[in-house]
Structure 1
Amino acid sequence: MVIIVLTKSTNYAEIKQVAETEIGLRTQCVMDNNVVKKCKPGAGHQPVPEDERQAGRPNNSLLSQGEAGYLPEAIIIIGAASLPGARDKHRPLHRRLRRQPGLDPIQVPLFYSGPEGDSTATSRVEIIRDLKDMMKELLKAFYRATKHKPERIIFYRDGVSQGQFMEVRNREVSAIRLACQEMSPNETYEPALTFIIVQKRHHTRFMPASDRDGVGKCKNVPPGTTVDSVVTHPLDFDFFLCSHFGIQGTSKPSHYYIVWDDSDFSADDLQKLSFYLCHTYARCSRSVSIPAPVYYAHLAAYRAKNHVISKVDVSSSSSDSSGASADSITTSQYVQAVKVLDNLQTAMYFV
């Protein structure tokens, strides 16, 4: 691993693109102000946990006893995110695999899906392309690592607007089901699937009834505060979870919408699991606002975007003649631009 001190003129995207797609080198970048002038306390120790995760060594894990014991040994937890917008048509899928909580996470190569053929439709539809093939590779990697097929699949999905819940559920649940069926000769493999949509873009906020119950200087609700009635859907299975400590301003809870659940999890079970996963994020020693697998999916998506911008030279404007138009780049160009070298395939290089 190489730690690179950046200046304001350094091209971060180009450094990452060259290191990960041409050299096969893990890097950590830090601004010169943080280590030379301001010398922030966290700047010195922050690369250590990130280096551990990049190298594939877990620096935290879920408890194996107590309240998390309702999970079976062979379980796969997946985080997926997509970048919307006409010029951000990258559809990466990052997965974080877990067995019985407390055991080390299993890591598999990052999978990526490029833009749809119709750029106009792509900017509005949040469906992950090739999800069936991605899931098959994930299941194979899980089996190679554990010698077991997953008994349950928990799929956390981000980047979906309210009006596309049903379309995403119908198409992506079907793709996951088909992938499982094709993994067995007689198509009898049907693990229990739980599909959860995670939203941060909403206007719901919670405040304690009394300042005495609040935490921090802003008196926010304590981390772990869960609301599953009154402001939730009267019929559907959803809840709000404020899993992080609000340092500045009013804490924004995450909205969890369970659109498919074969396991018949109770609300308490999914709320606890989601809260526990918010504590396993490598970049922060505190709990974060969304489960770590989803957070990693976001990081992978933005890293893919940086690779495409740097390698394919996407212009900032579609009409700019100095670079390639975002709408003119083919799927194969996108996929080639974000493909990292083999030695980084199972490393969380994007952390």
Structure 2
Amino acid sequence: MPETVEYCLENLKNIKQAEFVLVVLPSENATIDKSTIYNFVKFGENNDKNIISQCVMGEKVVNTPQGYYDNLLDKINAKLGGTNMLVGHDYIQDLPFSLSETMVVGADVNHPGMIEKVPLSIAAVVGSFDANISHYSNDIRIQKKDRTETIHDIAQMLEKLLIHYQKKNEGRYPNNVIVFRDGVGDGHVKILRDSELVSMEAMLNRLAPNVKIAFIIVQKRHIVRLGLTTQNTNARKPTYNVDSGTVVDTHIVEPMIDGMVLNSHFSQLGTSKPSKYTILRDDFGLKTDQIERLCFFACHNCARTRKTISIPTSIRYADLCAYRAKQLTDAYQTRNSDQTSTSLTSMTVDTELHEQELLMKLSKVLTIDAEKSEKLYYI
């Protein structure tokens, strides 16, 4: 199957000069595993910088849910470099810096499950490079499994994004960098501050010493929930969920840490789950209302939806980018199952040596062409 998919993509590129491919995956009851086909399509796409693909489910084409094609076209437009929507700059005009001189960064790590054969973590960092905070470049690194949630090469990854920003903005670096960091437990906050933040500061002092930085941790796994005391009957369905943009910065937050709880999205069903924000560094001296408005603004402009999402868009993109990388490693593992199995079995003999060998192989698999890395191919 891998060879068939790659052969089809190769023909589309060479014979039809295709730049975009729409792939209809088999239905749920088909004998062929659609997730395997999906991974191979993305693996083949990853090997060619000139092709962007979009997969659709066969049953969705036959029985199309309301709004399906709207969402599909939004994703395709964004993958091809288009812009679906923007938030007016006047919304955050009270901030002490200009968005046209700002890069918004999202960082996340995808860890292997307990039963997965490849015991390696994948880190992804994305950074905006336009004045509207709608286009992002990315960098992906594979690293040893580390339950401290640390991104080992975050300084080098951020440096690569800064250099890309410089190329896209007439040779100048951004004056401001806002970093949103995902996937961090309460017990690892200090570790990240002493490792990732310190390494980024050292890199910035060398590359662009005048750049100001804000470093904000965003947590999705926590026990805080916000709700109304009386039912909201103005929504499409009666609900006790709070409105989009609801923020709490007193009483239920950590007393010794600068932070807040923000419910940026609105849920019609179920219980809304807000995100917890912890500010580790703020060179701008933002007031409480300003940083809350900034974080809410960062939850807009996601190309996958026309609504506000529950976390900053840059983090969502980093999460999707890391997950796409995992799909590529899964496809590589299936495609080269004999070699991968041998390598993993040999790791019991010399774990360090074979872990490094596997790291090198998978790093090549995840190498993205510079031109393609500035597209949202992973959404």
TM-score w.r.t. the length of structure 2 is 0.81
Q: For 1:155, give the aligned amino acid.
A: V
Asked if the contact 2:125–2:158 (Cα under 8 Å) also holds between the matched residues in 1, the reply is no
Q: Which residue of 1 aligns with 2:191?
A: 167
3-state secondary structure, aligned to 1:170: helix
Contact kept? 1:68, 1:273, Cα under 8 Å: no
State yes or no: 1:58 paired with 2:87: no
From 88, 100, 121, the equivalent of 1:90 is 121
3-state SS of the aligned residue for 1:113? Answer: strand
Contact preservation (8 Å) 1:90, 1:304: no
Equivalent AA in structure 2 for residue 156 of structure 1: F
1:204 pairs with 2:224 = yes
| 1:1-351 → structure 2 map (5 Å cutoff) | 1-7=20-26, 8=28, 9=32, 10=34, 11-22=37-48, 24-36=50-62, 38-70=63-95, 71-72=97-98, 73-85=100-112, 87=118, 89-97=120-128, 100=131, 103=132, 105-108=134-137, 110-116=138-144, 122-147=145-170, 148-183=172-207, 189-212=209-232, 215=235, 216-313=237-334, 321=341, 324=344, 328-329=354-355, 330-351=358-379
Three-state SS of the structure 1 residue aligned to 2:67 is helix
Post-superposition shift, 1:348? 1.0
**2:78 alignment partner AA:** R
* Bigger mean CA offset, 214-223 vs 241-250: 214-223
3-state SS of 1:124 partner: coil
Please give the alpha-carbon distance, in whole angstroms, between the structure 2 residues aligned to 1:342 and 1:272: 33
Aligned pair count reads: 335
RMSD of Structure 2 on Structure 1 (CA):
2.5
Greater Rg by CA: 2
Contact 1:150 1:191 in 2 (8 A): yes
Distance 1:223 1:66, change over 3 A: closer
Q: Are 1:227 and 1:239, in contact at CA under 8 Å, matched by a contact in 2?
A: yes
- Kindly indicate whether the alpha-carbon contact (under 8 Å) linking 1:106 and 1:142 is maintained by their aligned counterparts in 2: no
CA shift for structure 1 position 47: 2.0
Q: Give the superposition deviation at 1:2.
A: 1.7
User: Aligned pair in 2 of structure 1 residues 214, 267: CA closer, same or farther (>3 Å)?
Assistant: farther
Distance 1:257 1:342 in 2: 33
- Partner of 2:47, secondary structure, is helix
Residue by residue over 1:175-195, the C-alpha shift from the partner in whole angstroms, topping out at 9 and shown as x without a partner, is 2112212215xxxx1422111
Q: How many angstroms apart in 2 are the aligned matches of 1:85 and 1:158? A: 16
Residue identity opposite 1:204 in structure 2: V
- Relative to 1, partners in 2 of residues 1:305 and 1:224: Cα closer, same or farther, differing over 3 Å? same
Corresponding residue SS for 2:104: strand
Shift of 1:323: 8.4
Structure 1: state its 5+ residue gaps: 117-121
Are the counterparts in 1 of residues 231 and 238 from structure 2 also a CA contact under 8 Å?
Answer: no
Residue 90 to residue 124, structure 1, CA distance change in 2 (3 Å): closer
Matches of 2:276 and 2:335 in 1, distance apart?
34
The amino acid that maps onto 1:270 is I
CA 1:98/1:272 → structure 2, altered by over 3 Å: closer, same or farther? farther
Q: Greater shift after overlay, 8-17 or 243-252?
A: 8-17
Shift of 1:27: 1.0
Please tell me the residue identity of whatever aligns with 1:52.
Answer: N
Q: Do the aligned residues in 2 keep the contact of 1:213 with 1:221 (CA within 8 Å)?
A: no
Amino acid at match of 2:42: K
Which residue of structure 1 aligns with residue 17 of structure 2?
none
Aligned-pair CA distance for 1:23: 6.6
Structure 2: give runs of 5+ residues left out of the alignment: 1-19
Q: Distance in 1 between matches of 2:246 and 2:161?
A: 33
TM-score scaled to structure 1, two decimals?
A: 0.87
Equivalent pair of 1:4/1:27 in contact (CA under 8 Å): yes
The structure-2 alpha-carbon separation of the partners of 1:286 and 1:214, relative to structure 1 and needing over 3 Å to count, comes to same
Q: Which amino acid aligns with 1:112?
A: I
Alignment deviations for residues 174-228 of structure 1 (CA, whole Å, 9 cap, x no partner): 12112212215xxxx1422111010110111111121147844333111111111
